[in-house]
Amino acid sequence: MKNKSKGYKYPSVSLFTGAFGLDLGLEKAGFEIKACVEKDDNCVKTIVANRPSLKDKVINKDINKVSVSEILGISGLKRGEVFLVSGGPPCQPFSTVGRRESISSKEGSLFHRFLEIVWGIYPQCFIFENVKGILSAAIQHKPLNLRGKDGKCLTKREKLGSGWDFINKQFAKVLRQGKKGGYRLAVWELDAVDFGAAQKRKRVFIVGIRTKCQLSKPIGTYVNRPRSLKDVIGRLDGKYEGPGKDYFPYDKIRSKIFSENLVRAGENWTFLPINLQKKVMGKGWYATGGKVGFCRRLSWHKPSPTITTNPTGRATNLCHPEKPRPLNYVECALLQGFPKSWKFEGSLSQKYKQIGNAVPVQLGTAIGKSILKSLEV
């Protein structure tokens, strides 16, 4: 492709924008957001609070009720003139934590709408994002306790990965993969910690371009030297310590555990006496499988586990290394790559939700730069 002048910003359209995490990263890579589609009112307020210039560029609607012509009209561009379309439909249907309703649910089927909009806008390239669990998603999820020991009772629709196979086939079909005027597709599994985030967070990206160029997968520069929790949140100087304002206080039993240092930095429930383990974990104590998140206290010297929408969750606890409280919303935002100046609108729970659902800023930058490098622009 022909090189643009220095400082040129590549026009982009953002779908399922959320709190603007992916888009912040893309901005750093050299893209300019020309239009956003986001149905959550608080997310829209967050976008506008930080990017006032986008006030009239945000379409605050359910994406199923938004037309391609409306998006192009807001962006001021025509079909084929948008350089990039990016977005990640809700990840809950594919997450391994939850009901895994997959593509059979209303939210899980939103990838269809993403594809329709991409083909309608016909950008030079696109980025589709979701959780790692999408790779093993079935078309129709069957709970573990109903599968049997050998899994032979699963139908084709219930087999692990059948949903992912279906999604891939739909991408290839709608976007005319390998055909004239169609897109070349690549699937990348990336971990934010490898790209400078002090957080282990694996995400899957389907990236497409409509040229014969070969897409180059981003290579992290922090693979052997991950940033630690202290590198990112160790200098907040006692700010954002308001219970109910900046974080949700623990229940009495966990407050006691962390206040009395019964679990120290880098430890979890396994360091408690058995009677206390059973008391704080309830039925979870008898469950099989991974339980590392129960009563977990983070270490200053390691990256954080995946930031969720609720750091006080019983099985996904994220306690501060020194203080008897969970990570506050500002700390979570910093670990997601947001600048300290980024404002989040809404209640405390809504702030946590926006942050926990975001794509780490560093991943957006890495993918954006990789696309531009692949296209030699």
Kindly list the catalytic residues.
91
State the Cα–Cα distance between residues 193 and 216, nearest whole angstrom: 19
**Backbone CA torsion sign across 320, 326, 327, 332:** positive
Return phi, psi of residue 62, to 5°.
Answer: -60, 130
State the Cα–Cα distance between residues 319 and 257, nearest whole angstrom: 11
State the Cα–Cα distance between residues 320 and 196, nearest whole angstrom: 20
Contact 129, 189 (CB under 8 A): no
Q: Can you count the helices (H) and strands (E) in the chain?
A: 11, 7
Contact 84, 125 (CB under 8 A): yes
> How many C-beta atoms surround the C-beta of residue 301 within 10 A?
12
Residue with token string 């200098």:
235
Which residues pair with residue 128 across a beta bridge? 87, 206
For the purposes of burial, counting CB atoms within 10 Å of the CB of 282, is it exposed (0-12), middle (13-18) or buried (19 or more)? exposed
